[in-house]
Amino acid sequence: MNDKKVKLAQILSSDDSNSGAPLLMLQINGGESLGVMVQPYGITSLPPNDTFAVVLPINGEESNKMALAVDLAGRQKNLKPGDAVLENTVTGAFIYLDFNGDINIVAPNRNVNIAAATVNITANVNITGGFTVNGKNLSETHFHINSGGVGNGGVVG
């Protein structure tokens, strides 16, 4: 049997404490083996235990393995050609780049945080839910009246 080919393994544990690539303890053909996780440029992750990985020998040496984690069960389904999704299958959060150019950020029961010097938005903005600025809930205390209303369109609240 030729052991110098692509294999599917189960990740038993992972270690991201070193300065290089994460190390994975893999279960392959009933045995355990250490592998180095490889990831596409700009993408960094640490897969949960029991995730599957595609494993390749480095330089054809079975004792040297690299692994690419894959989530066959939890991945987004029914994608259209041109769709791309960056997702966390543990929490259900994902960024969906639709084939038509729409971008959807979905974070069920999670926070979406933006840390930047300035956030510029050039678009119409629709807000469903509360609106808080510097700790003050403006959605309940601040509103505008259309022209012809109280104060002829002035700010009330």
Read off the pLDDT of each residue in 61-80 and give the average, rounded to a whole number.
86
How far apart are alpha carbons 23 and 30 in whole angstroms? 19
3-state secondary structure of 14: strand
pLDDT for 83 beyond 90:
yes
Q: Label residue 143 by pLDDT band (50, 70, 90).
A: low
pLDDT for 59 beyond 80:
yes
Predicted TM-score (pTM) of the model is 0.71
Q: Residues of the chain with pLDDT > 90: what percent?
A: 43
Using an 8 Å Cβ cutoff, are 73 and 59 in contact? no
How far apart are alpha carbons 24 and 14 in whole angstroms? 4
How far apart are alpha carbons 93 and 107 in whole angstroms? 4
CATH 2.40.50.140 residue ranges for the chain: 7-70
CATH fold label, 7-70 = OB fold (Dihydrolipoamide Acetyltransferase, E2P) (2.40.50)
Most confident stretch, 62-76, 87-101, 122-136: 87-101
Read off the pLDDT of each residue in 68-92 and give the average, rounded to a whole number.
89
pLDDT for 117 beyond 60:
yes
Residue that the structure tokens 């960024």 belong to: 95
Which distant-in-sequence residues (6+ apart) come within 8 Å of 123 by Cβ?
A: none
